[in-house]
A and B are shown apart, each in its own frame.
Chain A
Amino acid sequence: MDEKIKQALIEIVGKENYTDSLIDMVSFSYDASEHSHRPACAVWPSDADQVAKILRLANSEKIPVIPRGAGTGLSGMAVPIKGGIILDLSHMNRIVKISIEDRLAVVKPGVVYVDLEKALEPFGFFFPPDPASGKVSTLGGNVATNAGGLKGAKYGTTRDYVLGLQVVLPDGRIMRTGSKAMKSVSGYDLTRLFVGSEGTLGVVTEITLKINPKPTATSTALATFDSLADAGNAINQIMHSGIIPSALEILGRETLAAINENTDLNLPEVDAMLLAETDGYTREETDYQIKKVIQVFEENNAREVKQARTDKEVEDLWAARKSAYAVLARIKTHFVLEDVTVPMTHIAELLKGVEEISRRHDIQIATFGHAGDGNLHPQILYDGYDQEQVRRMEAASADLFKLAIDLDGTLTGEHGIGLAKAPYMTLEHDPVAMDVMRHVKKMFDPNNILNPGKMGLEE
């Protein structure tokens, strides 16, 4: 880092909140994807004012700035692919306010998801998106990536809960968007433009979130299916039944086999396993819902159906789903975890297509995911030091994205575009939409300093 700029940054954040030491530069080179690139330095700002000063400086010097939360993203969006300054927002981690009466929480971007959950618990409230990385990921990161999770089918994603933001623009101006009111149709919806914008338009320095009362009862059931078509039909019919499960998870054959090879769970090796959870405030209510789901399972030739009667049984039914990621993570030295998402009617086809792609490219792909909202996680397992396997992984990924788009789906349901899916943006978005996105980027960030190289915005 240029000495003059280094001194200017130190003046803004203080010596202890600036680093260019090797250990920090290496750790800030990565997120949870396979991408990496070193930044020139990193800073830990403590408020919006410091963020504004940093951006003003970077904008005038045309240095890239990469906002970062916990760095748990899976598509390379926090990776400083063009170097520059890492803006680690984890020190801005105060819960500013919880107002149950107004049904909202105001937080700084570095608050960890689970810390808000803990703070809301005594009130019987929660912030529903529930990302799998919630113990670590920050709310700022959740907003920047529009994070989703297990409960997406019933409760939606981060986007559905952001009422307003404080944002620092690349030129250093500070802006407030949205409202603290539950409803607002005042002007353009700038809030939503920033949710999921992957740090390319501005830096979020405060978030106002809508919160929900937390359901106190759940019922859980599991079914196995010999045929993928039957599992697909069951998913479709659940949608018809009027029940929206709080979780409806699916595990494919390859995933079940991998779990069996690596644990003592002894799962049946069938085409698909579906796990459903219904939630509410009384056991009667949730049991009523789960019975309807079970009926649908049975009508669609489920080989086996189980309903949990005790907490221990609930845990047992979830064991396979909860072990999936960890089991698959241990099989090969490298993996890519995709998150293609299709309309629910196409889930069976997507699963079948993934199996074909796996065979075609001779590469192991295990799939699990959220059947309730069509969001699947094909996990491609490979050895990253074997160039041939890397090539096959990339070819399989490309085919997977094509398949999702052909099935009226999207490249990414919850992980974002970042670097990993940037080359495929034009598969999903027509030239007009791409042109509009590029113009939006240019309007907010004419010098392209904020998280450059992401989302396929550079022609």
Chain B
Amino acid sequence: MESKYEFEEKYREQILKCSRCGFCQAVCPVYGATLRPALNARGKMLLLKEVMDGKIGLDDQLIETLFQCTTCANCFHNCPSGVDVPEIIKAVRQDMVRAGSCHPAFEGMNEVLEKHTNIYAEDEPEDFERVRNRKAEYVYFIGCVGSYREDEPTMAALDLLDRLKVDYTLIDEVCCSGVLEDVGFSIKEHLAEKNMALILETGAGTVITGCPYCFRTFNDKLQYSRLREAGVKVVHITQFLQDFGFGVKTDKRVTYHDPCDLGRHCGIYEEPRNTIRKIATDFVEMPDNRENALCCGAGGGVRGAYAKNSIAMARRRLEQVEEVGAEIVLTECNSCVHNLANAKLRRQKFRVYSTTEFINELMEEAE
């Protein structure tokens, strides 16, 4: 039988191996926020099975569920049958876009990145009061959220790097465009080329980024292979910071939220904790942590396309912050910071920071 869709060729066996046990329902953030089985991983796999059986079409009716997945991979992590749902979802979204069915928010994002340099279509980048594109040992790559939505954590990260006397430069960066692959489109070659050219021009041996998604894109995607060929290493700032001492401490109760892109997708769990333990005497874990961490609800394009549910997912995560009585919740992803901070209720007195911003604040206070 000839496959009608590309996802089928690659993932047919896996989709059929979904035994419908429903164990994903226990961890799916979208299900947790909506209690709607059609939005859970099992619901999605069942729909794909019916698509492969020719019972239903891969059309607009499926957008609401297939484009509503944060690709947090908690289902994959808990699946007895080993079904890699996030990868399947990404492949299906590409088929849907080819078939003319796409969530308008993502069509919009794709168009924006045709014409603009970032997902917010903002053409006046913040300069963060730094000289850009100079020769340096390191490039600091900010990412769209850090550049245009969470500029305070970014400024703090840069201040911290200055305090630690790191020789870095910013570049006239553009969106890495990795997210487009998640939502049915492709990485924009011209954006990738521009980033790579700017990075290589600085002569830096290492790119440090505060964005776990840019980190994954640079390290994993074919379009960025020229960086790897040139021997340029790309690290997340949490990996970079773990070898530093900061000489400051807080006695506030601190907890840590694992971003899905850094945790389940890259296995980076201990580096941020090592750093946090250096500065926090009262560090506590939330009930769901490391590979079991609840998603903040922002990923996979869900924040843009399904804002209400995205916030509901973040609220569920923040309930755990309350449960452990933390005053500070740290994380390593600006998207997580953004969504968690937006979802925080007025009565919730804890504060949400990126780890770098928090350390920088402690150092600033100590000076």
Contacts and interface: CB of A to CB of B under 8 A. Distances in A.
Contacts of B21: 32, 72, 133, 329
Interface string A323-337: 001100110011100
Given A329-B19, A334-B16, A90 B35 contact: yes
B66 to A, nearest CB: 9
Nearest to A331: B17
15 contacts: A22-B56, A22-B62, A23-B47, A23-B62, A26-B50, A26-B56, A27-B43, A31-B20, A32-B20, A72-B21, A114-B26, A326-B82, A329-B80, A335-B19, A384-B16
A27 B38 contact: yes
A335 B19 CA distance: 8
B47 A133 contact: no
A91 interface: yes
A33 B21 CA distance: 8
A333 B17 contact: yes
B80 A326 contact: yes
A29 interface: yes
Contacts of A55: none
A285 interface: no
Contacts of A326: 80-82
Contacts of A71: 22, 37
Given A26-B47, A325-B80, A329-B81, A136 B17 contact: no
Interface size class of B (residues with CB under 8 A): 20 to 34
Which of the listed residues A26, A32, A326 has the most CB atoms from chain B within 10 Å of its own CB? A26
Contacts of A30: 20, 46
A111 interface: no
Given A23-B65, A326-B80, A133 B23 contact: yes
A60 B342 CA distance: 48
Contact of B35 (A44, A329, A334): A44
A32 B37 CA distance: 13
A72 B36 CA distance: 14
A135 B26 contact: yes
Contact of A330 (B25, B35, B47, B82): B82
B61 A22 contact: yes
Nearest to A118: B287
Nearest to A134: B26
A27 B46 contact: yes
Contacts of A29: 46
Nearest to A112: B26
Interface in A378-401: 384
Interface of B: 13, 16-17, 19-23, 25-26, 35-40, 42-43, 46-47, 50, 56, 61-62, 64-65, 80-82
A129 to B, nearest CB: 17
Given A32-B19, A91-B35, A136 B46 contact: no
A70 B47 contact: no
Nearest to B25: A136
A70 B65 CA distance: 18
Contacts of A93: 35
Nearest to A326: B80
Contacts of A44: 35
B355 to A, nearest CB: 29
Contacts of A335: 19
A24 B22 contact: no
Interface in A49-75: 70-72
Interface size class of A (residues with CB under 8 A): 20 to 34
A21 interface: yes
Interface in A4-23: 21-23
Contact of B38 (A23, A32, A133, A334): A23
A112 B28 CA distance: 14
Contact of A27 (B16, B47, B61): B47
Contact of A136 (B23, B65, B82): B23
Contacts of B37: 24, 27-28, 71, 88
B155 to A, nearest CB: 41
Nearest to A384: B16
Contact of B17 (A26, A112, A133, A330): A330
A130 to B, nearest CB: 15
Interface in A223-243: none
Contacts of B25: 70, 136
A335 B65 CA distance: 27
Given A22-B61, A23-B62, A27-B37, A32 B22 contact: yes
Given A114-B26, A384-B16, 18 more contacts: A21-B64, A22-B61, A26-B43, A26-B46, A26-B50, A28-B37, A30-B46, A32-B19, A33-B20, A44-B35, A70-B25, A72-B22, A133-B22, A326-B81, A326-B82, A329-B80, A330-B17, A334-B16
Contacts of A23: 38-39, 43, 47, 61-62, 64-65
Contacts of B42: 27
B319 to A, nearest CB: 13
A227 B21 CA distance: 33
Contact of B22 (A136, A334, A384): A136
A140 B39 CA distance: 22
A112 B22 CA distance: 13
B50 to A, nearest CB: 6
Contacts of B36: 24
Contacts of B43: 23, 26-27
Contacts of B39: 23
Nearest to A325: B80
Contacts of B50: 26
B44 to A, nearest CB: 9
Contacts of B56: 22, 26
Contacts of A329: 17, 19, 21, 80-81
A44 B34 CA distance: 11
Interface in A88-131: 88, 90-91, 93, 112, 114
Contacts of A70: 22, 25
B193 to A, nearest CB: 39
Given A32-B20, A71-B22, A24 B38 contact: yes
Nearest to A327: B80
A91 B38 CA distance: 15
A330 B26 contact: no
Contacts of B46: 26-27, 29-30
A56 to B, nearest CB: 25
Nearest to B57: A22
A112 B31 CA distance: 13
